[in-house]
Amino acid sequence: MTLRVLIAVTHLLGAGHLTRAAALARAFARAGHETTLVSGGMASRLGSAEGLKLVQLPPVKSEGTAFTTLLDETGRPVTRERMDQRRRALLQAFRLAEPKVLITELFPFGRRMLAAEFTALLEEAHGRKPRPLIVSSVRDILVAPTKPERIAETHRRLIAFYDAVMVHGDPRLATLDLSWPIDEEIRPLIRYSGYVEEAEALPPALHAARGEIVVSGGSSTAGLPLYRAALEAARQVPERPWRVLVGAGVEQRRFESLSGSAPVNATVERARPDFRALLARAAVSVSQAGYNTAVDLLRTGVPAVLVPFEAGHETEQRLRAERLAALGLARVLPEAELSPAALAEAVRAQIARLPASRPGINLEGAEQTVAIIEEFAPSAKTSAPAKPTPDWSPLDDVLRRTAQAGRTVAFWWRDDDVVAHTPALDRLLEVARAFDLPIALAAIPGGIERSLTERLGEEPQAHVVVHGFVHRNHAPPGRKKAEFGPHRPPSALAHDAEAALRLGREACDGKLLPVFVPPWNRISAEFVPLLAGLGYRGLSGFGVRGAREVAPGLYRINTHIDPIDWRGTRGLAPVETTVARLADAVSAQLDGGANPDEPIGLLTHHLIHDESVWRFCEALLDRLRMHVNLIYPSPRALFR
């Protein structure tokens, strides 16, 4: 049976973490598994994304080795609001993917500054029944904290949340305890997959001379000292062509400065997709000692000079470089000893040495990871039928017809019975923010708590409308429930409606719209014209509305679909029925029905949603997002 897999990764400096996670994601997709890759670093070219769902969180990055200071794409320190957005978007991606396998790249061994969002993700996963298999994905060599309490914290998280630690390396080159203390409690979690590399075929190296010196420094600015030393070293080795490949993270002015200082035997260009092919033709590779560099050297066998990145007390690259040197694949030039003369000498020595035999290191880490996790998740191979995917075709078809006709469809969202800040309200607002949707919250004025006002202050797209007075049924026994039905005199209804508007304004000043939403969507026809005189400008119920202006100065906009089975289980109504009703509402507009311009409304009740209702709502909004001819006006604009 197909697995649903979600991989969460955030790269802060170079793109190596993302490259490795993307290679794993592609391997899962090639094996037929539904795979979602969630990236929280700066957007980066990933190559082929076929078969994957890519989710980009609001990005963060770091400058140099200052990993404790997170920056946004403009280089400014990130705000709490951005971190909250990231957490909500990450949880939303998890809920939409419903993974059977959750993989966190590097965490909990690293990314301590992102612990809050990763912990929220892990807690969400542990709340599912059955919960997904949870795996930590790490490279061969890590950077262990200097404080023992942080190592203990990592181990506690592993024991509390994780089923396995997938080490993407080969013990014949390096074991995890070379860089991280392993105790008997976490040792049973560790699995070695082999090294992960890109499986896509690379084009041949174009315009490349055989026997050139290829210099690379990763995707960040950390390679600048190496580039500068290499260009000067090229002057001292004039008999060889040099090619210096500059990462995308180096800004253009610095790139142009490097290019302008190059000697005649050196070419400076941006990093290329045929890098592996260039390396295979090279006489010597000059680089740092990152994970992907090691894989490239192990695959091509080219002699190398490694200048490991060691700023900020980094030890990972130095350890890896020394292990590669022990195999005869590289010569190590410590960063502190880097100079043009020392680099030229090291390059000449590597040119002169005899070729080393390639070690038998496992480079099939992506495929091995898939195989190990498939074995770890036997529940995914049972004969139980898969959860049926909703048939969206009626909705897709009518929205395509609408687009072909040059029409747009307005869509809005109302949620009823709001009174206080609750976990269910948090989830509702997280969904709205994840899809960047305005939402009208029908709050019961007689029950509004201060916590609601405080919570909504953080939500610019959340608006409050008046949901009756105290949501009390006044209908006689045996009649349909109503608070503002024909069972009381209009004067009593007017008294309550006026008090409701006053209480709503006092509690939610600035958020409240003068829009009346009758409880149970029932209201006395005799009372409706009186609402405008009480200060209301809008009315909202459920179903076909009739005229837009129901009284002078009073406009009605209804909701049309409700995913809850009110007459049965009070869980999720039959999905095909809800989808058909939504398609019919769009079709009625397209075919010139009674309300061709009325926005189509989704009605929800967050306080009673079970997981199936939440998942359907999220899947529906995700589906609607695929259609570009939908617009989502603000409730404030709708009832202006």
pLDDT per position as a tens digit, 314-344: 788 999 999 899 888 899 999 999 999 999 9
Asked if the model's pLDDT at residue 345 lies above 90, the reply is yes
Structure tokens at 313: 């007390």
Q: Do domains 4-197+367-375 and 408-638 have the same CATH topology?
A: no
Domain 213-358 CATH assignment equals 3.40.50.2000: yes
* Closest C-alpha among 337, 336, 309, 344 to residue 232: 344
- Could you tell me whether strands 554-556 and 549-551 are parallel, antiparallel, or unpaired per DSSP bridges? antiparallel
Q: Is the pLDDT at 538 greater than 60, yes or no?
A: yes
The b-or-e profile of 587-609 (16+ CB within 10 A means b, else e) is bbbbeeeebeebbbbbbbbbeeb
Q: Which fold has domain 4-197+367-375?
A: Rossmann fold (3.40.50)
Average pLDDT over residues 564-576: 88
pLDDT tens figures, 468-480 = 999 999 999 889 9
What's the mean pLDDT in 289-309?
89
| Nearest C-alpha neighbor of 249 from the set 227, 232, 276, 230 | 227
N-term to C-term CA, the chain: 52
Q: Where in the chain are the domains?
A: 4-197+367-375, 213-358, 408-638
Please give the Cα distance from 498 to 504 (Å, whole number).
10
CATH fold, domain 408-638, is TIM Barrel (3.20.20)
Show the beta-strand stretches assigned E in 84-212: 101-105, 133-139, 164-168, 190-192
- The confidence score (pLDDT) of residue 312 equals 64
Under DSSP, the state recorded for 184 is: T
For position 442, what pLDDT does the model report?
Answer: 96
Inter-residue contact 88 to 66 (CB < 8 Å): no
Q: Pick the most confident of 102-111, 182-191, 539-548.
A: 102-111
Q: Which band of pLDDT confidence, cut at 50, 70 and 90, is reported for residue 595?
A: low
Q: Give CA–CA dist 305/329, Å, rounded.
A: 9
Residue 594: what pLDDT?
A: 56
Q: What DSSP state is assigned to residue 409?
A: E
Q: Do the Cβ atoms of 504 and 466 come closer than 8 Å? A: yes
CB atoms within 10 A of CB 576: 12
Give this prediction's pTM: 0.61
3-state secondary structure of 236: helix
Neighbours of 586 (CB within 10 A): 23
pLDDT for 65:
59
Q: Which of 45-49, 254-258, 574-578, 600-604 has the lowest mean pLDDT?
A: 45-49
Which whole number is the average pLDDT over 60-72?
77
Mean pLDDT, the chain, integer:
88
**What is the Cα–Cα distance from 471 to 588, expressed in whole angstroms?**
32
Q: In what order do the strands lie in the sheet with 164-168?
A: 52-56, 34-39, 4-9, 101-105, 133-139, 164-168, 190-192
The mean per-residue pLDDT over the stretch 560-583 comes to 90
Tens of pLDDT, residues 395-444: 999 999 988 888 899 999 999 999 998 888 988 998 998 888 999 999 99
- Residue 380: the pLDDT is 41
pLDDT, residue 549, reads 85
Is residue 601 predicted with pLDDT exceeding 70?
A: yes
Residue 548 — pLDDT band, cuts 50, 70, 90? confident
Q: Tell me phi and psi for residue 601, to 5 degrees.
A: -110, 135
CA dist 369 and 351 (Å) reads 36
* 540: Cα separation from own chain's centroid: 35
pLDDT in tens, 125-175: 988 888 899 999 999 999 877 788 889 889 999 998 999 999 999 988 889
Residue 51, sorted as left (phi over 0), alpha (psi -120 to 50) or beta, turns out to be: left
Q: How confident is the model at residue 385 (pLDDT cuts 50, 70, 90)?
A: very low
Report which secondary-structure segment, H or E, holds 234. Answer: helix 224-236
**Residue 453 amino acid letter:** T
* Type of residue found at 386: A
For residues 356 and 605, the model is more confident at 605
CA 301 to chain centre: 37
Q: Which neighbouring-strand residues pair with 213?
A: 242, 284
